[in-house]
Amino acid sequence: MPDVPLRCAAASLERREPLAGTAANSRVFLAIEHPGPWGVDALRDARMPPGQDEWRDRVRAACAAARVRPLLIRRPAGSPAEPSGGIRVYAAFADAHAPWMETAVLASWEDVAALDVAALGAGRSPRLTPTDELVALVCTHGRHDVCCAERGRPVAASLAQSHPEQTWEVSHVGGDRYAANLVLLPHGLYHGRVDTVSAEQVVDRAGRGLLVRPLLRGRSGWRTGVQVAELALRDHLDEDRVDALRVLRWHPDPDGTPGGVAHLALRENPEAAYAVTVTPRRGPRARLTCAATDEGAPWVWSSAVAPL
């Protein structure tokens, strides 16, 4: 009997691997429209129009120097959204307390390379047009991991019918085994294991300033332990408002693990403050992506909430 190919998303679900604290640690994003193909490393390997490779490489170098996460985006097949008429870019500063985003349609990759990426990385405007849009990015990067294509593309296609202007396919965002993955900008809210029904619920509720907690992997602007602490306190308080909590401080464990103690408060009532202790341990070893040749041991968390 032939071997059945590994599907990391199905294996992660079978292991009942928790989602909390699995968002990428990225606070600044530059999403660039490019219809593809993307290749294994989307920006490095993307097939470019003639004469554009040099400008693409400059964008990669600028993003790396400024610690900006570059993403490639494209409209899902069959999307009713109007063509952009160029290269749509979104520059998002996913600060947990004051996120913002700017956008523009540029004519060429030379124009993309001319963006002030250093300013964006420092949390300053790259001089595009401010926008209050909520952008929904569904990872469909099958060349990076097959689960992202198999699970992401149906979600992106469905969501594009109900939210055409907000929906884009996106290159690798991290966490292939949680596919389908849905990231909301500018907040940097990572969601995992979404399907065609729950994706619409996530976007609809986010438009009203609310979360779908069971699908939330974390807020990318926070380090891993703080993501876990925020979600633990939300569960403790039954709190779904996106901007309800503020992180006051973080005390990392001295042993070098991602655990520690987070102090958080309600934004509307700073006197209502809590200490959330998060303690990590390594879970069972497993192949964590479809292409993995070695096993890894993901973090598993326990949390304790106490009033300050």
pLDDT tens readout for residues 207-256? 999 999 999 999 999 999 999 999 999 999 999 999 999 999 999 999 99
Distances (CA, A) of 30 to 2, 73, 289: 43, 10, 25
Residue 77 pLDDT:
93
Whether the pLDDT of residue 274 is over 60: the answer is yes
Model confidence pLDDT, tens digit, residues 51-80: 889 999 999 999 999 999 999 999 999 999
User: What is d(CA 212, CA 197) in angstroms, rounded to the nearest whole number?
Assistant: 12
Residue 3 pLDDT:
52
For range 170-188, the mean pLDDT: 97
Angle in degrees, 0-180, between the axes of helices 196-207 and 146-162, rounded to the nearest 10 = 50
pLDDT band at residue 2 under the 50/70/90 scheme? very low
Radius of gyration of the chain (CA): 19
3-class SS at 288?
coil
Q: Which residues pair with 265 in a beta bridge?
A: 246, 273
Q: Specify whether the CB–CB gap between 117 and 125 falls below 8 A.
A: no
Q: Specify whether the CB–CB gap between 11 and 286 falls below 8 A.
A: yes
Q: Specify whether the CB–CB gap between 248 and 97 falls below 8 A.
A: no
pLDDT band at residue 193 under the 50/70/90 scheme? very high
- Could you tell me what percent of the chain has a pLDDT over 70? 98
Residue 4 pLDDT:
52
Whether the pLDDT of residue 49 is over 90: the answer is no
pLDDT band at residue 1 under the 50/70/90 scheme? very low
User: What is d(CA 202, CA 144) in angstroms, rounded to the nearest whole number?
Assistant: 25
Winning range, highest mean pLDDT, from 4-13, 105-114, 282-291: 105-114
Find all residues with CB under 8 Å of 134, minimum gap 6, and list them.
166, 184, 185, 203, 206, 207
Whether the pLDDT of residue 37 is over 90: the answer is no
User: What is d(CA 128, CA 130) in angstroms, rounded to the nearest whole number?
Assistant: 6
Average pLDDT taken over every residue of the chain: 95
> C-alpha dihedral over 238, 253, 28, 38, to 10 degrees?
-100
